[in-house]
Amino acid sequence: MTHPALPQLLRPRALEPGDLIVVAALSGPLDARYAPDLERAVAEIERMGFRVRLAPLLEAGRHRWWSAARPDEIAKELNGLLRDTEVRAIVAHDGGQTVFGYLDLIDFDAIRADPKPILGYSDISLLHLVLYARTGLVGFHADLATPGLGGHWQRASAARREELGKLYSTLLTGTEPIGALPAGPSWECWRAGRAEGPLIGGVINRIVLAQATPFALPLECFDGAVLFWEELGGQASYVWSYLQILRHSGILDRISGMVVGVPEAIDGLDSPDGSPSLAEIVLDVLGDRDIPVLGNVEVGHAGANLPMPVGIRAALDAEQRTLSLLEPAVRPHAMTGPLG
């Protein structure tokens, strides 16, 4: 059996002020109730200095089952955006349950020819993992447009919104490393230690399920990686099972550190009947693996997100509660061709 080669890191070209960012329905539909949130998201992106366009499938009330459209229709629109040289970045409107339906329809050659940032989390984290596995593309595990930029951001303090706006803008335009991400009061050291390696991760159920497909990341991608993950909904026992699958697959033996997002709406955590905390579940499965674990970081469904660029080297010090990006996520504008 042949295994896919390890991807060479593929950084998108740095954005410039006035560049076009398209918000697209890459998974779930836009409920008409949340159209004002989408408008607020567009305003946030414009405030960062970019032009914004909405992709045609992103139309309030349009849906097919739980999706914005059929998987082949979404793939066609995505591929069009990937091939359009005027489009410099794509922000997913929301997550959902559709990306698995079009993994085999993505134009990977278009990504290699003109890599561009794709932003989102939840179901979109599956897209980041697969595109990284197939092309080496740096995926921007960051806030979705409608529930994130237009939702969680609006409920944050003005100072936090400004901080996040500058952070996202710098990540998309800057060719120097970001350095330390702004730590929050929720961050906890679950196991002390330091680690340095490429960021790999997403919502944990998508990480596990992706590895069961032909689009799986080669296990070598996890060598020395800082694994970040989060989860929405379900049971605490499901999370324990997902972690056990990562153990059985050998992934937990390969990573150098772990960053765990704030859990959201997971039943059976910290309840009075003696249910475990998320930290206890993680440490139970890790056993005696001596890797640092930083918990309750803002990477996921629980609130405004810190960006986690997939494939970019990061430094983690769990005891000091620091997480730093050691490389830029984009390449200088003057460089041409599909270079890392």
Domain residue ranges in the chain: 20-173, 179-325
Confidence of residue 4 (pLDDT cuts 50, 70, 90): low
3-state secondary structure of 22: strand
What pLDDT score was predicted for residue 77? 98
Q: How many residues does the chain have?
A: 340
Q: Is 248 labeled as catalytic in the residue annotation?
A: no
Residue 336, pLDDT above cutoff 50: no
Read off the pTM: 0.96
Domain 179-325, CATH class in plain words = alpha beta
Residue 340, pLDDT above cutoff 90: no
Q: Is 301 labeled as catalytic in the residue annotation?
A: yes
Q: Six-digit token pair at 86? A: 């005027």
Q: Is 230 labeled as catalytic in the residue annotation?
A: yes
Asked whether 60 and 35 are in contact (CB, 8 A), the reply is yes
Work out the percent of the chain whose per-residue pLDDT is above 90.
94
- The active-site residue, picked from 27, 67, 122, 256, is 122
Strands, E assignment, the chain: 20-24, 51-54, 87-92, 118-120, 140-141, 179-180, 188-191, 194-203, 226-230, 257-261, 293-297, 308-309, 313-317, 322-325
- The active-site residue, picked from 44, 77, 230, 231, is 230
Fold topology of 20-173: Rossmann fold (3.40.50)
3-state secondary structure of 322: strand
How far is it, in rounded angstroms, from Cα 248 to Cα 229?
17
Q: What are phi and psi of 304, to 5 degrees?
A: -55, 135
Nearest to 126 by CA among 26, 226, 13: 26
Work out the percent of the chain whose per-residue pLDDT is above 70.
96
What pLDDT score was predicted for residue 337? 46
